Amino acid sequence: MVPIRVLVADDHDLVRYGITLMLKEVANIEVAGEVCSGEEALEFCRNHPVDVVLMDIRMPGMGGLEATRRMHASRPEVKIVALSAMDDLVHAKKILEAGAWGYLTKGGDPAEMTRCLESVARGRRFICADVAQEMAVGSVDPVSDNPFDKLSPQEFQVANMVIDCYKTADIASSMGIEGKTVNSYRYRIFEKLGVKSDVALARLAIQHGLVDVAQPVEPSLASADS
């Protein structure tokens, strides 16, 4: 049996190390490599054979969402499994729209991750049980009260980077767009969400469970609100 070649992309060393150790115990999975950013994931896949990328959504730089969009466009044969600390439906929807084949939360068990990697490698989509149940409920009652559902994947990525206090020039560089395009995205984001500042955007994200409040608040956000 030819092993499934998996690239582990996560900016947290302990998480990446733990996943790698776990996958090395699975007979039909081979860890092709480890990277800590979306940019590195794209570069690795350009130069090495990879079947599946286990992609953390929130990473420095372009992040997992934009990396997934670019990977899907340039290397559609490489399957992406999104990995998130959040179990909200919006993150799942946006990265699946961007081209991911699977979605897992970091609170899941190792057996579920193995099943997911095997499924997507065979061309079958896989969504972790909790999120799949929410999606099923949403298909019955499609009206969403989460305003972030209104954003396109690119707008959602820009919103995340604004919340993480990236400067306009850094967002533009990471996403391969011009600064004025970032400002256009920001204007549309504010208009769609009914907010008028970066702080208000961050508060709305926290309110709807899109930000892990256990993480320390960025100094620029904290000071901007004082």
Question: What CATH number has the domain bearing residue 87?
Answer: 3.40.50.2300
Contact assessment for residue 99 and residue 69, using Cβ atoms and an 8 Å cutoff: yes
Kindly state the average pLDDT of the residues 171-200: 90
Kindly state the average pLDDT of the residues 96-120: 91
60 φ, ψ to 5°? -60, 160
Kindly state the average pLDDT of the residues 60-68: 88
Domain's final residue, options 140, 173, 188: 140
**Same-domain check for residues 43 and 107:** yes
Angle of the 110-121 helix axis to the 13-23 helix axis, nearest 10 = 70
**Same-domain check for residues 154 and 119:** no
Q: Specify the DSSP element, H or E, that contains 184.
A: helix 179-193
**Same-domain check for residues 154 and 123:** no
State the CB neighbour count (10 A cutoff) for residue 28.
12
* pLDDT-wise least confident of 6-15, 155-164, 189-198: 155-164
Quote the pTM value: 0.75
Contact assessment for residue 59 and residue 35, using Cβ atoms and an 8 Å cutoff: no
**Same-domain check for residues 81 and 45:** yes
**Same-domain check for residues 154 and 186:** yes
Each residue of 149-185: b (16+ CB within 10 Å) or e? bbbebbbbbbbbbbbbebebebbbebbeeeeebbeeb
**Same-domain check for residues 97 and 172:** no
**Same-domain check for residues 135 and 153:** no
**Same-domain check for residues 135 and 152:** no
**Same-domain check for residues 184 and 208:** yes
Domain's final residue, options 124, 140, 156: 140
Domain's final residue, options 113, 140, 167: 140
d(CA 210, CA 194): 17
pLDDT of 44 strictly over 50: yes
**Same-domain check for residues 12 and 123:** yes
Tell me, what's the pLDDT at 223? 36
Tell me, what's the pLDDT at 145? 74
Q: How far is CA 86 from CA 36, 63, 139, 175, 188, in A?
A: 18, 15, 20, 23, 25
The string of pLDDT tens digits covering residues 123-163 is: 999 998 878 877 765 554 555 678 888 888 888 889 988 98
Tell me, what's the pLDDT at 140? 46
d(CA 88, CA 66): 18
More confident residue, 145 or 46: 46
Please report the DSSP string for 5-23 in residue order: EEEEE-S-HHHHHHHHHHH
Query: Which residues form the domain of 124?
Result: 4-140
**Same-domain check for residues 104 and 15:** yes
Kindly state the average pLDDT of the residues 40-67: 92
**Same-domain check for residues 105 and 156:** no
CATH of the domain at 206: 1.10.10.10
State the CB neighbour count (10 A cutoff) for residue 50.
21
pLDDT of 36 strictly over 50: yes
The number of folded domains in the chain is 2
